[in-house]
Chains A and B, each alone.
Chain A
Amino acid sequence: GQQVMQIPQYQHVQEGEDFTTYCNSSTTLSNIQWYKQRPGGHPVFLIQLVKSGEVKKQKRLTFQFGEAKKNSSLHITATQTTDVGTYFCAGQAAGNKLTFGGGTRVLVKP
């Protein structure tokens, strides 16, 4: 079945620094979505990428979808304490369900 893997599992970041989390699918995806879950909260939709090579930005967050539509990345610049949480990618193959990656748990050191 479809598998989605994310690395790193944990990311300890100094406030103000940048970091990137990576997502890889075992199958070609029709789209990939990113969610953020704060501690004790629920997943909140951030963005969807559909096109091969697509790049989208949301303020300090930059999302990329690979050319082969099997991988994606989330880059956060100038990390803030409000960025704390777990970031999940979730991939969907055509006609299939949305499969979540294992998540990257982000901890910010002030």
Chain B
Amino acid sequence: DTEVTQTPKHLVMGMTNKKSLKCEQHMGHRAMYWYKQKAKKPPELMFVYSYEKLSINESVPSRFSPECPNSSLLNLHLHALQPEDSALYLCASSQIARGDYGYTFGSGTRLTVV
């Protein structure tokens, strides 16, 4: 299995809702990442997990809460989001934490906050 699977593919949520994005990989990668991508912009790093521990938080607002239950799963919990948080949320994984190998990206969750 050489894929990163993200669910759901699309999500529309209100500003008072709580939702979660899920990411799964079975490549044995021990580094996992959340990126946010706005239209016509590059991916922006949000969080890095290395060996299931949070190693980088790019000063992301607390309304985004990551979780790594095990080496194959990565979640992003969303609460009280703003319309400007609407974007494509990409999960990625790589062989080692420093990313000295290419990242494998999932197809993303396209989030709309209304």
Contacts and interface: CB of A to CB of B under 8 A. Distances in A.
Interface of A: 30-31, 33, 35, 41-48, 50, 88, 92, 95, 97-103, 105
Contacts of B105: 42-45
B104 interface: yes
Contact of A97 (B45, B101, B107): B45
| Contact size range, B | 20 to 34
B102 A48 contact: yes
21 contacts: A33-B102, A35-B102, A42-B90, A42-B105, A42-B108, A43-B43, A43-B90, A44-B105, A45-B103, A46-B102, A88-B42, A88-B43, A97-B45, A97-B58, A97-B99, A98-B45, A101-B42, A102-B42, A103-B41, A103-B42, A105-B40
A10 to B, nearest CB: 10
Contacts of A50: 100
B95 to A, nearest CB: 11
Which interface residue of B40, B42, B43, B58 has the most chain A CB atoms within 10 A? B42
Interface string B13-46: 0000000000000000000000000001111110
Contacts of B98: 92, 95
B104 A45 contact: yes
Interface in B84-114: 88, 90, 98-108
B74 interface: no
B103 A98 contact: yes
Contacts of B102: 33, 35, 45-48
B81 interface: no
A35 B105 CA distance: 10
Contact of A42 (B45, B99, B100, B106): B106
Contacts of A102: 41-42
